[in-house]
Chain A
Amino acid sequence: MTKVLSIEKSSEDGLKELLKFLLENGKVKGVVALRKMSEDGAISYSLISSPDDVESTVPLFPLMPVNLAKQLSLLTLMEAATEPIAVVLRPCELRAFIELVKRTQGSLENILFISSTCGGVYPLKMAVEGNIGERLPEYGKALVQGELVPNTRLACQACEYFVPYTADITVSLLGNKGIEKETTLFLNTEKGESIVEGISGKFSEGDLDTAAIERIRSKRRTEKEKLSDEAELRNLGIDEINKTFSRCIGCRNCSKVCPACYCHVCFFETETSQHGPVYYERELQKTGCVNMLSDTIFYHLVRLFHVSTSCTACGQCADVCPVNIPLWAISLKMGESVQKTFDYLPGKDMEEGLPITTFLPEEFAGIV
């Protein structure tokens, strides 16, 4: 059983009340959450320090403009947070940040993590079209009923890990019939429990509705199978890879927005990866024809190889691809199979070592 705090307000308003309480009472110095940046509805993450600014936040808005893990890494890379802050983020963002911390790209110190059982986010393209607002009632309805939310990111529709693992506080949303009237906050950690002391609300004990969670998980699994078939990536051999990436323009935006791709300078942007004239002369001699974009497949394979143990399938890569390559499905497939092999789920547990840095004498005996 977990301690539960209930606030008699809709989930969004209750969560905002919690954030305001934390700032007003000096329990945190700042809050990082999604915020409405302009009247026309542009949404961005924002670090706020005044309780008055909580009103303009939209902490549960179903959009992921950036994967927050990357921003938290920047925030805590030079030094750990010197004062407590609270961040509201999605389960895949939290997992991605845990992975970054394991890779010494940030610090968990002084951060209160607030996450939710996640219904998914809408594609960025929909934010561009500006009609997410109209879809919110539909989103809320599907959320309450524990259904797949239509038109969300394909990565979200196929996501099984919508319950946060290491959040201090979890907002119960998925399959929760009371979200319009009551905010249900699971206080998972001691930090979560102690920081809300003094807030007005009802305290009790309870658990997430595991039956509902399992029901949703099985729906997502079925959807994942279906979407993987549609993406035609079941048998990802060299021919399929060639075909899938053939339209890549080599912009590498998938790596720039990826929380697992943290290298300061990507190998593919170094001098080492640049060809000189001699290379082109040699290639030309061999075949009489050189595709000037041929390195893109090499890039994608290496990237998959590098991120596969830490990929949390957030889908940011697919959302920013200018030529609509189904990168989410490829990353998911690659990530799942590699992670299964190592019996590792990225971001699940801070104490669990990265597979690549963990040496087990008796591992993969068959291969050796």
Chain B
Amino acid sequence: MLSKDELSEIQEEEFSPKEEKLKSKIRRFFSKINAIFKIITAFLAPFFARINAIKAFIGKRPWLVLVILFGILVLFIVLFLFVRIGDEPHELLHRSLTLAAILLVAICVGYSTVVFQTVTGARILTPAVLGFENIYLFLRTFMLFAFAGSIAFLETNEGNFVISFVAMVIFSLLIFLPLLTKGSKGVYILLLVGIILSTLFASLTSFMQWLIDPERFMTIQADMFASFTQPDILLMIISGGIAALGIGFAPSARKLDVISLGRENAISLGVNHKIAGLRILITVAALVAVSTIVVGTVMFLGLIAANLAYQFIKSYKHIYTIPAAILVGAIALVVGQFFMREVFTININIAIIINFFGGIYFIFLLLRSRKKEK
């Protein structure tokens, strides 16, 4: 829309009467639109006021947000399970298995992202952005590359998973513990280290895959791309156990609240920050390993889940933010999977959709944090 100044400028430049008439017509048109707009906003004002009142009401009651999110999730779960279910006897079982995998991944991603962001004190960092998933895939490939053929246990999917999980915990502690616990290094340094590591391990992985026997490679290839279509029951049970173990390792929600005040304040309030950082890293490593083996890499899911959770829950308390992040992640996955099946019908990768929206959201968060700094 042109502003008044711009319009008058144009008028001064060109003086033909025909155009003059047109310009005034345009001006009248715009003023009419403006009037209509004003009437509409005046009409809607009470509604907006009511929405704001509802917002304020909910803002003071974080549990209400959890209830609403849970309701939405249940609604979509019902849709997901029962819409256009055929006569095939195994269809419901198959869908429930997929659903179980989705929920497991949502728990892992939501939990690990929130606790990781608490210890780093940065809301644009997630384990995935820092390359945890790539490290995990590298370790899996490396296990196959180096030991397969000689140790039969590693040939099985489960065996490989357990061993690479242990390696993953050790590896991430070696790399990230010094960065997290020795005072504040700054978000951008961490981000930079993460991007470098993530690229490095991704390249190493593809290099080894190039050397590896193609048949063996098939066993890990499925991990690299998100897919809920063929969940393996035994694997799900093992990974569910590891996820539970990992969450058990994390500091309590109240301790996490204190840690979110920053390293120094946490120490002053009697929290052993080093041990807490260690425990959080073990949790994150376990949960990332589980989510990667169950679904593959979904880089931006954690980012969307955690940040939307913070926006909905106007509280710093982890007892609310962690469940909210899990619920948001679950809703995103169930909805995504549902639409993929019902609307697109072709079997495209869900990671593509989530990464597309997640990537845009990531850029939005970066821009907003820069604005805040100014």
Q: Do A and B come from one complex?
A: no
A contact set with B: CB distance below 8 Å: none
B contact set with A: CB distance below 8 Å: none
